[in-house]
Amino acid sequence: MVAEVFFSDLRARSEAENKVTRLRRLFSEAGFPQLIRERDLTAVKLHFGERGMDTFVSPVLVRAVVDRIREAGGRPFLTDTATLYSGSRSNAVDHLTTAVLHGFDYSVAGAPVIIADGLRSTHVVEVPVQGRHFSRVLVAGDIAAADSMIVISHYKGHNLTGFGGALKNLAMGCAPAAGKREMHAAKAMAAEAECQGCGTCIAVCPSGALSLTAGTMAVDRDRCIGCGECMTVCPDGTLEFDWEVDLPPFIERMMEYALGAFQGKKGRIGFYNLLLSVTPDCDCVPWSDAPIVPDIGILASTDPVAIDAASLDLVNSGIGLPRTLLRHGHDRGGDKFRGIWPHTDGEQQLRYAEHLGMGSRTYRLVRLEGGKG
């Protein structure tokens, strides 16, 4: 099956061609009005961004989607779930505070924020799935309860999954903390590489699994929850998973969780990927490193596999930027995310999600007519 993915680039020579109007047009072109019924409670699944990073999807752009949902008859609410690690979004109070500090206030975004898994991430429903790893997954209660959903993702790199887009937003993004723990079943280990003893990893580890003695880093593998935070921050590559053993089943578990959030909303769910500020890291880190490619555009589709496949192709088809974390793959066609995280295989997300019946890796890119789309 060939899925349609609608694409708008960023060329703009008039007020009809700014990002807000492009999001509004994509909403129609991708058929999103047909996903929403009169008086639907429509979830707008976002990532509000960890405090300290600033390349999350702007609430000004989210407002364009909120307005279109309302015009289609829905009652939109903005939503996300608690993180597994400590930080600025690990409970609903901190999460709502972070959302407001990042501009996701009713006065800007035009819709209320509801943290979908509740105050302490216990508002959860079990959803049956047929996967290799799970016969049921945990989905945040208010995402499961929503009638329809528009998933808006900042497309970027990730140190474990290669890239993060629509599929990861469904998987990690719609799961409560307990579900995130089930997906992250790998364990960190200290490699041979030298440790300079900066202590950064110890500060970010949510489970107190790391200790430094006389310049030697040790991991308590019983405590480690496999979140990967230590690997993201370590300047020396001292901490790692057993990539070949741990990563493939991790991706599969993630995609089974994505299926759990997706399958109850088939025909009622749409996806935007924003290829703006394509940073090396996900929005869970408290910084925004330099983007690895120039801004590309905005995609919309009802197929989460196709939109992520098209996003990956668009990123790889361009030229990588100098003075970034990109070490390889700068040329057109070069694998940009492996150029940062060589152990990752982002395409595995696409292969396994397609195997699970979530969509198609075969797509047709439909460029917006008019303007420069």
CB of 90 to ligand SF4, least distance (A): 13
Residue number with CB closer to ligand SF4 (123 or 180): 180
Binding site for ligand SF4 (CB under 6 A): 188, 195-201, 205-207, 209-210, 212, 217, 219, 224-230, 233-236, 238-239
* 347: CB partners within 8 A, 6+ apart: 162, 312
Residue number with CB closer to ligand SF4 (199 or 294): 199
CB of 193 to ligand SF4, least distance (A): 8
Helix (H, G, I), strand (E, B) or coil at 136: strand
In whole angstroms, give the CA distance from residue 110 to residue 273. 20
* 33: CB partners within 8 A, 6+ apart: 27, 68, 71, 72
CB of 8 to ligand SF4, least distance (A): 38
Residue number with CB closer to ligand SF4 (88 or 273): 88
Residue number with CB closer to ligand SF4 (227 or 356): 227
Residue number with CB closer to ligand SF4 (26 or 205): 205
Q: What is the DSSP string of 182-234?
A: HH-----EE-SS------HHHHH-TT--EEEETTEEEE-TTT-----HHHHH-
In whole angstroms, give the CA distance from residue 310 to residue 363. 7
The answer to whether 290 and 44 are in contact (CB under 8 A) is: no
Q: How far is CA 137 from the centre of its chain?
A: 18
Residue number with CB closer to ligand SF4 (100 or 212): 212
Task: Give CA separation, 220 vs 77, 230, 355, in Å.
Answer: 40, 13, 35
CB of 204 to ligand SF4, least distance (A): 6
CB of 280 to ligand SF4, least distance (A): 17
The answer to whether 249 and 133 are in contact (CB under 8 A) is: yes
Helix (H, G, I), strand (E, B) or coil at 147: coil
Residue number with CB closer to ligand SF4 (94 or 236): 236
CB of 181 to ligand SF4, least distance (A): 10
Task: Give CA separation, 303 vs 34, 223, 232, in Å.
Answer: 14, 38, 30
What is the token pair recorded at 311?
A: 């996003």
Which run of H or of E encompasses 296? Answer: none
CB of 13 to ligand SF4, least distance (A): 47
Residue number with CB closer to ligand SF4 (75 or 181): 181
Residue number with CB closer to ligand SF4 (115 or 219): 219
CB of 91 to ligand SF4, least distance (A): 18
CB of 203 to ligand SF4, least distance (A): 9
The answer to whether 318 and 337 are in contact (CB under 8 A) is: no
